[in-house]
Structure 1
Amino acid sequence: MRSCSVKKDERFRILHVIRPAAGGMKRHLIELLRHTDYSFFAPAVAGPPGELLDEVASLGVPTYPLALRGELAPWEDVKAVFSLLSLLRRENFSLLHLHGFKAGLIGGLVGWLLRPPPSIVLTIHNSLFFGEGSGKQRFLARIEAFLSRRTFKVIAVSQALRAELVTKFHLPSEKVVVIPNGIDLTPFTLGVLFPTILRELPLPAGVPLLGTVARLVPQKGLPCLLEALALLPAELRPGWLIVGDGPLRQELEDKARALGLSHLVVFAGYRPPEEIPSILKVIDIFVLPSLSEGLPLALLEAMAAGKPVVATAVGGIPEVVQEGRTGYLVPPGDAQALARALLSLLESPDRAREMGEAGRKRVEERFSSQRMAQEVMAIYREALAARG
Structure 2
Amino acid sequence: MRIAHLVSHDGLNGVATSCRTLIEAQRTAGHDIFLVVLPQSWLAANLGIAGIVLLESALKTRPREIVRVGLAIRNWGCDVIHCHGSRANKFGIVYRFAGPVPVVATAHAALFQLPWRWFSAVIAPSRATADYHARVNWVPRRHIHLVPNGICMPPPGSDFSQKRAQARRALGLNDAEFVIGTVGDLCERKNQADLLRAAALLPADLGPVTLVFIGSPPQDREPMEGWNEALAQASTRHRVILAGQRGDAAALTAAFDLFGFVSRMEQGPIAPLEAMSNGVPVLTWPVGNLPEIIDHGRTGFLVGQGDVEGFARLVTELARDRERLRRVGENGRLEIAATLSPQAMQRGTEAVYRAVIGSRAPALPAPLRQTP
Please state which band the TM-score falls in when normalised by the shorter chain. 0.7 to 0.9
Check conservation: 2:217, 2:223, Cα contact below 8 A: no
Could you tell me how far 1:267 is from its partner in structure 2?
A: 0.7
User: Aligned to 1:306, what secondary structure does the other structure show?
Assistant: coil
Counterpart selection for 1:154 from 122, 134, 147? 122
Counterpart selection for 2:255 from 277, 282, 307? 282
Deviations 1:39-94 (A, max 9, x none): 753111012121322334963311011112xxxxxxx3235433333333443222
Q: Which amino acid aligns with 1:285?
A: L
Could you tell me how far 1:200 is from its partner in structure 2?
A: 4.8
Aligned to 1:54: 45
Structure with the larger helix share = 1
CA distance in 2, matches of 1:246, 1:44: 32
Aligned to 1:73: none
Counterpart selection for 1:337 from 295, 302, 310? 310
Aligned to 1:77: 61
Aligned to 1:239: 210
User: Aligned to 1:77, what secondary structure does the other structure show?
Assistant: coil
Aligned to 2:363: none
Aligned to 1:173: 141
Deviations 1:148-195 (A, max 9, x none): 2xx222100111111111111111111100000111113474233443
| 1:66 counterpart = 2:37 | no
**How large is the Cα RMSD of the aligned pairs?**
2.5
Check conservation: 1:101, 1:124, Cα contact below 8 A: no
Counterpart selection for 1:104 from 82, 86, 89? 89
TM-score normalised by the chain length of structure 2? 0.85
Deviations 1:191-233 (A, max 9, x none): 3344366355377x73311111112121111111111111111
| 1:86 counterpart = 2:71 | yes
CA distance in 1, matches of 2:147, 2:171: 39
- After TM superposition, list the pairs within 5 Å mapping 1:1-388 onto structure 2: 12-21=1-10, 22-36=12-26, 41-50=31-40, 51-56=42-47, 59-68=50-59, 76-79=60-63, 80-112=65-97, 114=98, 116-128=99-111, 138=112, 141-145=113-117, 148=118, 151-187=119-155, 189-191=157-159, 192-193=162-163, 194-195=165-166, 198=169, 200-201=171-172, 206-236=176-206, 237-247=208-218, 252=227, 255-261=230-236, 263-273=238-248, 276-277=250-251, 279-385=252-358
Check conservation: 2:213, 2:242, Cα contact below 8 A: yes
CA distance in 1, matches of 2:53, 2:15: 19
CA distance in 2, matches of 1:258, 1:207: 20
Could you tell me how far 1:373 is from its partner in structure 2?
A: 0.9
Could you tell me how far 1:384 is from its partner in structure 2?
A: 2.6
Check conservation: 1:222, 1:290, Cα contact below 8 A: yes
CA distance in 1, matches of 2:73, 2:47: 19
Structure 1 residues without counterparts, runs of 5 or longer: 1-11, 69-75, 129-137
Aligned to 2:369: none
Pair 1:360–1:312, CA change in 2 (3 A): same
Could you tell me how far 1:348 is from its partner in structure 2?
A: 1.7
Q: Which amino acid aligns with 1:242?
A: F
Q: Identity, % of aligned pairs?
A: 27
CA distance in 1, matches of 2:331, 2:96: 44
User: Aligned to 2:189, what secondary structure does the other structure show?
Assistant: helix
Pair 1:331–1:83, CA change in 2 (3 A): farther
Q: Which amino acid aligns with 1:13?
A: R
Q: Which amino acid aligns with 2:57?
A: L
Check conservation: 1:212, 1:242, Cα contact below 8 A: yes
User: Aligned to 2:313, what secondary structure does the other structure show?
Assistant: helix
CA distance in 2, matches of 1:161, 1:15: 24
Structure 2 residues without counterparts, runs of 5 or longer: 361-372
CA distance in 2, matches of 1:123, 1:171: 13
CA distance in 1, matches of 2:319, 2:77: 57
CA distance in 1, matches of 2:173, 2:45: 35
Deviations 1:108-139 (A, max 9, x none): 12322x2x3311111112322xxxxxxxxx4x
User: Aligned to 2:241, what secondary structure does the other structure show?
Assistant: strand
Could you tell me how far 1:366 is from its partner in structure 2?
A: 0.5
Check conservation: 2:200, 2:233, Cα contact below 8 A: no
Check conservation: 2:168, 2:255, Cα contact below 8 A: no
User: Aligned to 2:134, what secondary structure does the other structure show?
Assistant: helix
Could you tell me how far 1:309 is from its partner in structure 2?
A: 1.2
Q: How many residues align?
A: 349
Q: Which amino acid aligns with 2:199?
A: L
